[in-house]
Amino acid sequence: MMEKMIFGRYVPADSTVHKMDPRSKLLIIFLFVCIIFLANNWITYALIGVYTFYMLGMSRIPVRFLYGGLKPVLWLVLFTLILQLLFTKEGNLLVEWGPIKIYEEGVRQGVFISLRFFFLILMTSLLTLTTSPIEITDGLETLLNPLKKIHFPVHEMALMMSISLRFIPTLMQETDKIMKAQMARGVEFSSGPFKERIKAVIPLLIPLFVSSFKRAEELAVAMEARGYRGGEGRTKYRQLSWKAADTLQLVVLAILTILLFLLRA
């Protein structure tokens, strides 16, 4: 159970996408999520598909990792597809089988929406598969920096996010340890009546909260002892560098956007 909870499915590799600046990757994903809604016919969906596979190919991520990202939504996709097939009643009648009638428009809509799901999930997976969580946080912090002008605490948000990311594995181990300790005392987490299982959460949560506050206190003291005083004038260990490849990929995305505008119905 603990295996699949590991945050960040980051797969280190030596590829163009891995080497790209996290800022450009975040921008590309954000814009991709916006422009995918422009697609509304076969050509535009095919274009989006070509682009998605072009990015995936460049990232050299093994297929099984991509499948891992898709697996949780497969049922949702299937569900939506069936819903579309059964409830859209436009276009020519294709199949009639007792009370079930499938129309042309239903097939079209169903396929389009499923494709959109797949492309969206694949592209967001691409971000988390090729970018380490710490890079994502750094990228977000730099991208959102202009918001400091309106007194949005960008640095503090990034700090909390990186602390959170850092402690997910630690707290997961902690949870595992507490669960085993409680199981040794006879607590049942995975069987027994619903009410008992809910109650079993309490002896799990209390030690978890107490120990995480202890950790927080230690970390806060350590940070203050080392002179942490917020984001003002702070220098960075990891420097982000915008390269030619980043600009190139944004240009490719811009071309895709223009093509989508020209070819959409």
Partner 1 sequence: MKEMKKLSVMAYVSIGMLSSIAYLLMLLNFPLPLFPNFLFVDFSDIPALLAALIFGPVAGVLVEFLKNLLNYFATGSPTGVPVGHIANFLAGIVFVLPTYFVYNKLKSKKGMTIALITGSITMAIVMSILNYAFILPAYTVLMGFPDMRNLVVPAILPFNILKGVMMSLIFMLLFVRMQTWITKFSTVKNA
- Applying CB under 8 A, what is the total number of residues that bind partner 1? 66
Among 39, 56, 66, 77, binds partner 1 (CB under 8 A): 77
Nearer to partner 1 (CB atom), residue 152 or residue 242:
152
Rounded Cα distance between 62 and 28, Å, is 21
Q: Is 82 in the site for partner 1 (CB under 8 A)?
A: no
Q: Whose Cβ is closer to partner 1: residue 95's or residue 206's?
A: 206
Show the CA angle centred on residue 218, arms to residues 217 and 221, nearest 5°: 85
What would the two tokens of residue 127 be?
A: 């971000």
Applying CB under 8 A, among 31, 113, 143, 178 the residue interacting with partner 1 is 113
φ/ψ bin of 78: left (φ > 0), alpha (ψ from -120 to 50), beta (otherwise): alpha
- What is the token pair recorded at 144? 């959102």
Nearest-approach distance from CB 224 to partner 1, in angstroms: 6
Distance of closest approach, residue 97 Cβ to partner 1, in angstroms: 20
Residue selected from 96, 188, 196, 224 as contacting partner 1 according to rule CB under 8 A: 224
Q: Determine if 154 is a binding residue for partner 1 (CB under 8 A).
A: no
Q: Which residues bind partner 1 (CB under 8 A)?
A: 5, 7-9, 33, 36-37, 69, 72-73, 76-77, 80, 83-84, 87, 109-110, 113, 116-117, 120-121, 124-125, 127-128, 133, 136, 151-153, 156-157, 159-168, 171-172, 175, 198-199, 201-202, 205-206, 208-210, 212-213, 215-217, 219-220, 223-224, 228
